[in-house]
């Protein structure tokens, strides 16, 4: 059984309750509500452990800082708001994307990211 500390339990809870992938800084800010002395180095060490245990996955999208989300979520895609720089989960999966591969190729997995402005940022200039 993996070793647990108050910090690890707190950070795992932050990620599990999140409705979207979070940056390490966002996780740290949320974690400080329960553990005020929480530092960013502890967050990164704990994220590495949680990823290694398979409880959290790293969401790496070129051009933006890494995000983290629970592995309990189903396969889904993302929307990245270019204004507030938040990454949102999109429900479900676009079917038939494997047909886009050239003839003779086999698709093992896919990722789709939509870019634009979120609902909150659309009204802002």
First-to-last alpha carbon distance for the chain, in angstroms, is: 50
CA distance 80 to 17: 20
What letters, b where the CB count within 10 A reaches 16 and e where it falls short, cover 72-99?
A: eeeeebbbbbeeeebbbbeeeeeeeeee
| Cα dist from 122 to 7, 63, 75, 91, 119, whole Å | 36, 21, 27, 20, 5
8 Å CB contact between 21 and 59:
yes
Provide the domain limits for residue 32: 6-70
Count CB neighbours of 111 within 10 A. Answer: 12
Residues 106 and 87 in one domain: yes
Question: Is there a domain that residue 16 lies in?
Answer: yes
The confidence score (pLDDT) of residue 103 equals 94
CATH number of the domain enclosing 25: 1.10.10.10
How many domains does the chain contain in total?
2
Question: Is there a domain that residue 111 lies in?
Answer: yes
Written as tens digits, the pLDDT of the chain (125 aa) is 455 688 899 999 999 999 999 999 999 999 999 999 999 999 999 999 999 999 999 999 888 999 999 999 888 999 999 999 999 999 888 888 888 999 999 999 888 999 999 999 997 76
Residues 108 and 56 in one domain: no
Among residues 70, 86, 104, the one where a domain terminates is 70
3-state DSSP assignment of residue 84: coil
CA distance 116 to 121: 9
- Structure-block tokens of residue 77: 């895609």
Predicted TM-score (pTM) of this structure: 0.83
- Structure-block tokens of residue 120: 């909150």
């Amino acid at each position: 059984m993996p070793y647990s500390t108050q910090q690890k339990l707190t950070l795992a809870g932050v990620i599990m309750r999140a409705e979207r992938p979070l940056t390490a800084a966002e996780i740290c800010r949320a974690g400080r509500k329960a553990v005020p002395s929480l530092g960013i180095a502890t967050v990164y060490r704990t994220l590495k452990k949680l990823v290694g245990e398979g409880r959290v996955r790293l969401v790496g999208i070129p051009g933006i800082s890494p995000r983290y989300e629970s592995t309990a979520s189903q396969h889904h895609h993302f929307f990245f708001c270019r204004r507030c720089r938040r990454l949102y989960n999109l429900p479900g999966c676009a079917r038939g994307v494997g047909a886009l591969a050239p003839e003779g190729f086999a698709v093992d997995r896919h990722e789709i990211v939509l870019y634009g402005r979120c609902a909150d940022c659309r009204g802002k200039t």
